[in-house]
Structure 1
Amino acid sequence: MKKKILAMLMASAMALTMTACGGSASQSGSDSTADTGSDAAGGNHKISVILKTLNSEYWQAVSAGINQAADDLGVTVDLQGPPSETSYDEQLNMIETTLGSSDAEALVLAPLQPDVATTAVANATIPVLSVDTTFTSDKLVSYVGVSNEDAAKSGGEYVAEKLGGTGNVVILAGVQGDTTSEDRVKGWTEGIEAGGCTVLDMQYTDAVADKAVTTLEGLMQQYPDQIDAVVCHSDDVAMGAAQALQSMGKQDDVVVCGFGGISGATPVKEGSITATVDIGAYQMGYDCVARALDAIEGKTIDSFYPSDPTIIDSSNVDDFLAKLAEWKG
Structure 2
Amino acid sequence: MKKFFALLMAMAMILSLAACGEKAEPAPAEDKNTETTEPAPAADDSIEVAVVLKTLASEYWGYVKAGCDAAAKDLGITVTVVGPGAESDIEGQVSMIEQQIGAGCDAIVCAPNDAGAAGSALQAALDAGIPVLAVDTNVGIAGQTSFVGTSNVDAAYQGGIWAIDTVGTDAKAVIIYGQEGDNTSNMRREGYEKACAEKGVEVLQALSGQNTTDGATKTMEDLLNAYPDQINIVFCHNDDTAIGAMNACKSAGYTDVTIVGFDGNASAVDLILAGELVKATVAQQPYEMGYQVVEAAVKAVKGESVDEVINAPVQVVTAENGQAYLDNLAAMKG
Structure 1 match to 2:65: 63
**Larger strand proportion of the pair:** 1
SS across alignment from 2:305: coil
Partner amino acid for 2:257? V
SS across alignment from 1:192: helix
Structure 2 match to 1:170: 174
Q: How does 1:176-215 map to 2 (within 5 A)?
A: 176-194=180-198, 196-207=199-210, 208-215=212-219
Shift, 1:222, TM fit: 4.7
Whole-angstrom distance in 2 between the partners of 1:238 and 1:93: 30
Q: Percent identity?
A: 35
Q: How does 1:1-329 map to 2 (within 5 A)?
A: 43-44=44-45, 46-52=47-53, 53-72=55-74, 74-82=75-83, 84-85=85-86, 92=94, 94-102=96-104, 104-122=105-123, 123-194=127-198, 196-207=199-210, 208-220=212-224, 222-251=226-255, 253-262=256-265, 263-272=267-276, 273-329=278-334
Whole-angstrom distance in 2 between the partners of 1:47 and 1:325: 28
SS across alignment from 2:235: strand
Whole-angstrom distance in 2 between the partners of 1:68 and 1:227: 43
Cα 1:299–1:277, aligned 2, differ >3 Å: closer, same or farther? Answer: same
Q: Is the 8 A contact 1:235 1:264 kept in 2?
A: yes
Deviations 1:276-304 (A, max 9, x none): 11122112101101222332333333322
Q: Is the 8 A contact 1:166 1:198 kept in 2?
A: yes
Moved over 6 A (4+): 86-90
Which of the two has higher C-alpha Rg?
Answer: 2
Whole-angstrom distance in 1 between the partners of 2:56 and 2:191: 29
SS across alignment from 2:154: helix
Whole-angstrom distance in 2 between the partners of 1:176 and 1:94: 21
Cα 1:173–1:108, aligned 2, differ >3 Å: closer, same or farther? Answer: closer
Whole-angstrom distance in 2 between the partners of 1:56 and 1:218: 25
Cα 1:182–1:106, aligned 2, differ >3 Å: closer, same or farther? Answer: closer
Whole-angstrom distance in 2 between the partners of 1:265 and 1:249: 22
Whole-angstrom distance in 1 between the partners of 2:241 and 2:235: 9
Partner amino acid for 1:48? V
Q: Is the 8 A contact 1:121 1:139 kept in 2?
A: no
Q: Is the 8 A contact 2:176 2:234 kept in 1?
A: yes
Count of paired positions: 286
Cα 1:285–1:245, aligned 2, differ >3 Å: closer, same or farther? Answer: same
Q: TM-score, normalised by structure 1?
A: 0.74
Q: TM-score, normalised by structure 2?
A: 0.73
Structure 2 match to 1:24: none
Deviations 1:79-122 (A, max 9, x none): 221462367676556544543453x4322223445444333332
Cα 1:56–1:239, aligned 2, differ >3 Å: closer, same or farther? Answer: closer
Shift, 1:139, TM fit: 3.5
Whole-angstrom distance in 2 between the partners of 1:269 and 1:45: 45
SS across alignment from 1:99: helix
- Taking only aligned residues, the RMSD between alpha carbons, in angstroms, comes to 3.0
Whole-angstrom distance in 2 between the partners of 1:154 and 1:112: 24
Cα 1:284–1:223, aligned 2, differ >3 Å: closer, same or farther? Answer: same
Whole-angstrom distance in 2 between the partners of 1:93 and 1:216: 33
